[in-house]
């Protein structure tokens, strides 16, 4: 299987932006392999401990934070969002936390209302400010689906307001530290550092150019976590038992809550659901990632890359098929 995976990953090998691949079967990492470079300029090779910006793979962690607060009795999924963020306009009156989790809020995408002339990085609190000026939604809450980074930025703020902690600190104290994810961090420039950091790149005019940060890269709730395949193996393990969340909370997160704009895909809380798989991709300037889980088979594939293209979902499914074939011949 390793040889076949190496062949699939050949474009990531050498002096190019790299990738890390994890295959976990029955709780054991059977493949933990990295390719190419985490840092082209310093010629630092990618390794299993290399931390990539997860982009929207971060959303499953934001959802878990909300579920932890539900278990704490601090909030309920059907609470109105304006109970915690009262500055939102009247158009947001009907939006609940559940709507935010499932992309059924109808909230305006904050990227669409940012000032293109402003080159400063936007943070979660800035997303709220932008949305407070938008007394409109794409549709009435709960009547449609539209993937919403805005919703997950607001969820991070709700976590802060109900817990009394910075969102990054809550993640650390309630998820990363208890699970031993020692190098995983919701990155805040000037506050935290990313150990063993991969930098993002894009291929322009025949060469790789560092494109590591954009104006939206500092928004944490929708995509600001950095992690490695080493740490994500620990996260995957915690999704099978009750060390972090009780079984009923996990079951709700993994249950289809809404159809999406793809007839093959439904959405839970921070997870896409296709057939027997739970998965989520993440893409941002310089990074393309995916986690695909086959819970009934106790199989997970993670592919993290520090380049703008290609999107690795199809690659992860091919790796999953190889792992299934390998298991069948054991």
Tokens of 289: 């990632």
Name the catalytic one among 20, 34, 56, 148. Answer: 56
Q: How confident is the model at residue 216 (pLDDT cuts 50, 70, 90)?
A: confident
CA 179 from centroid of its chain's CA atoms? 17
In this structure, are residues 83 and 256 in contact, taking their beta carbons and an 8 Å threshold? no
* Mean pLDDT for all residues in the chain: 96
In this structure, are residues 283 and 270 in contact, taking their beta carbons and an 8 Å threshold? no
Q: How confident is the model at residue 178 (pLDDT cuts 50, 70, 90)?
A: very high
Q: What share of the chain has pLDDT > 90, as a percent? A: 93
- Which residues lie closer than 8 Å to 34 by C-beta, 6 or more apart? 18, 19, 20, 21, 45, 46, 47, 48, 50, 229
**What pLDDT is recorded for position 34?**
98
**What pLDDT is recorded for position 328?**
81
**What pLDDT is recorded for position 186?**
97
Tell me what the mean pLDDT of segment 194-219 comes to: 93
DSSP 174: I
Residue 64 in 3-state DSSP?
A: helix
Q: Report pLDDT digits (tens) over 261-291.
A: 999 999 999 999 999 999 999 999 999 999 9
- Domain limits for position 172: 2-329
Q: Report pLDDT digits (tens) over 25-78.
A: 999 999 999 999 999 999 999 999 999 999 999 999 999 999 999 999 999 999
In this structure, are residues 275 and 286 in contact, taking their beta carbons and an 8 Å threshold? no
Q: 109-118, 135-144, 248-257: lowest mean pLDDT where? A: 109-118
Q: What is the CATH number of the domain that holds 59?
A: 3.40.710.10
C-alpha distances (whole Å) from 75 to each of 60, 68, 240 are: 18, 10, 24
Q: How confident is the model at residue 330 (pLDDT cuts 50, 70, 90)?
A: low
In this structure, are residues 223 and 149 in contact, taking their beta carbons and an 8 Å threshold? yes
Tell me what the mean pLDDT of segment 5-20 comes to: 97
**What pLDDT is recorded for position 119?**
87
DSSP 197: B
Nearest to 29 by CA among 313, 324, 314, 301: 301
Cα distance between residue 282 and residue 264, in whole Å: 18
Q: How confident is the model at residue 210 (pLDDT cuts 50, 70, 90)?
A: very high
Phi/psi for 147 (5° steps) reads: -55, 130
In this structure, are residues 272 and 256 in contact, taking their beta carbons and an 8 Å threshold? no
Residue 238 in 3-state DSSP?
A: helix
Tell me what the mean pLDDT of segment 161-184 comes to: 98
Domain count, the chain: 1
Cα distance between residue 210 and residue 278, in whole Å: 31
Cα distance between residue 158 and residue 105, in whole Å: 15
Partner residues linked to 203 by β-bridges: 208
Q: What share of the chain has pLDDT > 70, as a percent? A: 100
* Residue 228 is among the residues annotated as catalytic for this protein: no
| 186: Cα within 13 Å, side-chain hemisphere | 30
Tell me what the mean pLDDT of segment 192-196 comes to: 97
Cα distance between residue 319 and residue 98, in whole Å: 33
Report whether pLDDT(147) > 90.
yes
DSSP 74: S
């Amino acid at each position: 299987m390793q040889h076949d995976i190496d062949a699939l990953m050949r474009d990531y090998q050498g002096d190019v932006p790299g990738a890390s691949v994890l295959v976990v079967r029955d709780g054991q990492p059977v493949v933990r392999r990295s390719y190419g470079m985490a840092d082209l300029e310093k010629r630092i090779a990618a390794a299993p401990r290399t931390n990539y910006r997860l982009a929207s793979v971060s959303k499953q962690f934001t959802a878990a934070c909300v579920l932890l607060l539900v278990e704490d009795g601090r909030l309920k999924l059907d609470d109105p969002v304006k109970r915690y963020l009262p500055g939102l306009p009247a158009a947001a009156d009907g939006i609940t936390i559940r709507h935010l989790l499932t992309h059924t809020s109808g909230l305006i995408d904050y990227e669409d209302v940012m000032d293109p002339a402003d080159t400063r990085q936007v943070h979660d609190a800035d997303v709220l400010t932008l949305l407070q000026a938008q007394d409109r939604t794409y549709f009435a809450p709960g009547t449609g689906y539209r993937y919403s980074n805005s919703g997950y930025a607001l969820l991070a703020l709700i976590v802060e307001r109900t817990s009394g902690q910075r969102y990054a600190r809550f993640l650390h104290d309630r998820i990363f530290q208890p699970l031993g994810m020692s190098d995983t961090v919701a990155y805040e420039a000037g506050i935290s550092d990313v150990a063993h950091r991969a930098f993002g790149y894009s291929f322009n005019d025949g060469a790789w150019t560092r494109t590591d940060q954009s104006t939206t890269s500092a928004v944490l709730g929708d995509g600001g976590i950095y992690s490695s395949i080493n740490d994500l193996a620990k996260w995957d393990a915690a999704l099978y038992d009750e060390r972090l969340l009780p079984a009923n909370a996990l079951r709700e997160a993994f249950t289809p809550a809404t159809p999406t704009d793809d007839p093959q895909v439904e959405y839970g809380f921070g997870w896409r659901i296709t057939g027997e798989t739970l998965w989520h991709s993440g893409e941002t300037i310089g990074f393309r990632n995916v986690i695909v889980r086959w819970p009934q088979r106790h199989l997970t594939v993670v592919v993290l890359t520090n380049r703008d293209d290609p999107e690795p979902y199809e690659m992860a499914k091919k790796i999953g098929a190889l792992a299934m074939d390998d298991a069948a011949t054991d």
